[in-house]
Chains A and B, each alone.
Chain A
Amino acid sequence: MSQGKRRSRGGIPSSADDVAGNGLLNRRALLGGGLAFASAASAATVTGAAAEPLKDAPWSLETGAVTPVLQTPSRFEKNVVRTLSNPNNEMRTSHARTPHHLLDGTVTPNSLHFTINHSGIPDIDPAQHKLVIHGMVKQPLVFTLDTLSRYPLVTRMAFLECGGNSGAMFSNEPVQATAQGLHGLVSNAEWTGVPLSILLDEAGVDRSAKWLIAEGADSLALHRSVPVKKAYEDALVAIYQNGERLMPGNGYPMRLLLPGYQGNMNVKFLRRIKVVNEPAMSYYEARTYSQILPGGKAYRFHFLQEVKSFITNPSFGQALKGPGYYGISGIAYSGNGRIAKVMVSADGGTSWAEAALQEPVLPKAFTRFRMPWRWDGQPVVLQSRASDDAGNTQPTRAEFVAVRGQTKKPVASANAFPNQHYNGPTSWGVASDGSIKHVYA
């Protein structure tokens, strides 16, 4: 990996601000280094005919519309929606994916947070919902939303990612899909709730117990085993999502939040926590969210969602409108802690430059990275690679496949789940006409 190497081609001279191949620019341009930015990009990008004279548009000449109680995005943003795997609620799992390629920043709006429901979304009356903590405790206790709301609450950002997110990346040939299709089963929100440790202590948990069984009030009574250790690290019983009550699909009225841990373990509609001495080996942990490895063994208890990143802009589904300046940006996160750095390559991983990280960089939460770029109009391959502060770096695709394998035949669609916990890179191949394909590099 050659960092900071200057290259040029295609007749556009390399400037002092080039930091890696195919036009990656010094990220100081994003951090108030206005001069560097100007010298790198401005003069070269003023092209084409002059703008037309300005005049008032119709909406500037009439009184606006009524103010609604609950506001929704502009009618011009109708395409910014989740994609559904099961729109008719047939008897199977329903996935709704976050449109990462149409969003920016780090917070996923509640209406666009991904959801997976294995038997539909229960219609829970919060006044009647109960959470019981029992098993290896001195005194079993029942909590309600009302009582939990009176506890000293804690607020934190956390990403949630399905263990199956990016499943199509196991395909032996790249599946042509947007960042939403490929990676839409991860989102990031500000969660507010009660530290689970407080509730366990109030019930008088037997500290020799190693496991909790967390169970939901859905029709499958979905349950997962959670180490008591995690409960005392940073687990919350979350009752607010981005400032409002949880979305029904995200576990209304209360869910377990295990920052950095596999989505399915963050049990929604939480109604029961049983303190026990052995894992339940539930259907979802022992079957669905266990991963077959090359050679035939399988991983069990893949708790962590490991360090990962992908570029959302530009990405598949978008098209570049001619050579010139573009802002590359994407999302990075790690279940192990904070993002330490994100490297970006425009030449398929030959040379790399360090992206700017949007502050604040929070543990187990989305970090937005940005990289200024001057496209020379020639084919390029964009890729990102994140490292976390625990010392982990995203593997290359080759490194990942060497350990976890890939399919023998191409996967038919981004909705397929050949395997789970892909955290290798994603590469976008930009053709000279500005179109973007998903490629492996």
Chain B
Amino acid sequence: MSMRNVLIATAAAVLALGAAYAAETPNLGQPIAEADVAAWDIAALPSGVGLPVGSGNAVEGAKVYAAKCAACHGDEGKGGPIVRAPLFGGPPLTEGIDVRKTIGNFWGHATTLFDFTRRAMPFNQPRTLTADEIYATTAYLLYLNKIIGENDVIDAKTLPQVKMPNRDNFIIRFPDKI
């Protein structure tokens, strides 16, 4: 069977299932108000959707970092006992297919840094930081990567505007699948 036929067959099967169910699907989901999803609704998207109220800069971030991040990541992001790789730097990507990816040499969006810190850091105490603390450490790590200045204020408006050095270097592998 050709791929096209497989696709058609699969689509037909799914449609058939869909049709069988469409008449009467179980509808066992419990309605919930969007506001009641808020505690889990933590994804910060590149456009800024999902960023909370709050702000911070690298000077404030350095203090939060020393208190809540350095134990694992080392002083000033230089690498520590748990995560040996520094949180900045990294060789240019042209040096090899296996170079270390960093915020500075690889990450395409600053919102990814906010989002990951917000959901996953500190690794052993996730989701304990305030919005200001997340903005501040984000600013600090962007500053360590020489992407913003020490006093630049990072908030819901400025974060999506930060231009990451590697932003335009990506190729969507399967655009037809989107």
Question: Which residues in A have some Cβ–Cβ distance to B below 8 Å?
Answer: 90-92, 119, 132-134, 139-143, 147-148, 150-152, 154, 170, 195, 197-199, 201-203, 210-211, 213, 215, 219-221, 223, 227, 229-230, 232-234, 271-272, 274, 276, 278-283, 286-287, 290-304, 336-338, 363, 388-391, 404-408, 418-419
Contact = CB atoms under 8 A, between A and B. Distances in A.
20 contacts: A134-B37, A140-B34, A142-B29, A211-B178, A223-B119, A229-B178, A280-B43, A281-B112, A283-B112, A286-B108, A290-B106, A292-B96, A293-B97, A294-B97, A296-B94, A297-B171, A300-B171, A301-B173, A391-B3, A404-B97
A388 B107 CA distance: 34
Contacts of B99: 292
Contacts of A298: 93, 106, 166, 169-171
Contacts of B53: none
Chain B interface mostly helix, strand, loop or mixed? loop
Contacts of A405: 96-97
Contact of B32 (A132, A213, A281, A301): A132
Contact of A227 (B26, B31, B41, B178): B178
A203 B27 CA distance: 9
Nearest to B98: A418
B118 to A, nearest CB: 9
A91 B122 CA distance: 11
Interface of B: 1-3, 6, 10-11, 14, 17-18, 20-22, 25-34, 37, 40-43, 45-47, 49, 72, 82-83, 92-94, 96-99, 101, 106-109, 111-112, 115-116, 119-120, 123-124, 126-127, 166, 169-174, 177-178
Nearest to B92: A296
Nearest to B5: A389
Contacts of B108: 281, 286, 300
A229 B11 CA distance: 11
A152 B21 contact: yes
Given A141-B30, A195-B17, A197-B18, A300 B6 contact: no
A299 B173 contact: yes
A148 to B, nearest CB: 8
Given A134-B41, A272-B40, A363-B6, A199 B29 contact: yes
B26 A151 contact: yes
Contacts of B41: 134, 272, 274
A232 to B, nearest CB: 7
B63 to A, nearest CB: 23
B101 A292 contact: yes
A91 B72 contact: yes
Contact of A133 (B29, B45, B107, B111): B29
A231 to B, nearest CB: 11
Listed from nearest, the 8 A-B pairs whose CB atoms lie closest are A141-B29, A390-B3, A418-B98, A296-B94, A147-B28, A296-B93, A283-B116, A405-B97
